[in-house]
């Protein structure tokens, strides 16, 4: 992943037999640039050693969907088409 880039995420749902759905849209998420406070690449130097900060994404709002026949789920990164990559700003 590159800082400042936008990535599209989706969820694949699996039924109780392991059959997968097509990805369902979750969100377009921008990886914060290095200049964003709190997301610096290096935050600490100690005796000449740098501490590098990794950026991760945590999804935690998936509910128990077993009552709908969902046996599992997986978060995936999805492709974006040219038409939804255009920056309007």
Per residue in 25-41, pLDDT tens? 888 888 888 888 877 78
Is 75 contained in some domain? yes
Q: How confident is the model at residue 87 (pLDDT cuts 50, 70, 90)?
A: low
Q: Report the C-alpha gap between 42 and 57 in whole angstroms.
A: 18
Cβ 44 vs Cβ 51: under 8 Å: yes
The 10s digit of each residue's pLDDT in 49-86 is 888 777 777 777 677 888 888 999 999 998 877 666 55
Q: Say what the pTM is.
A: 0.66
Q: How many CA atoms lie within 13 A of 52 on its CB side?
A: 3
**Main-chain dihedrals φ then ψ at residue 46, nearest 5 degrees:** -135, 110
Q: How many domains does the chain have?
A: 1
Of 4, 10, 5, 16, which is closest to residue 65 (Cα–Cα)?
A: 16
Is 29 contained in some domain? yes
Is 34 contained in some domain? yes
Is 1 contained in some domain? no
Is 89 contained in some domain? no
């Amino acid at each position: 992943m590159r800082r400042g880039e936008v990535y599209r995420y989706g969820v694949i749902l699996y039924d109780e037999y392991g059959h997968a759905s097509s990805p369902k849209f979750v969100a377009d998420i921008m990886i914060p640039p290095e200049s964003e406070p709190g997301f610096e690449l290096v935050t600490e130097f100690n005796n000449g050693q740098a501490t590098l900060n990794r950026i991760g994404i945590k999804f935690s709002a998936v509910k128990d969907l077993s009552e709908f026949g969902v046996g599992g789920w997986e978060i995936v990164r999805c492709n974006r088409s040219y038409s939804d990559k255009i920056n309007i700003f």
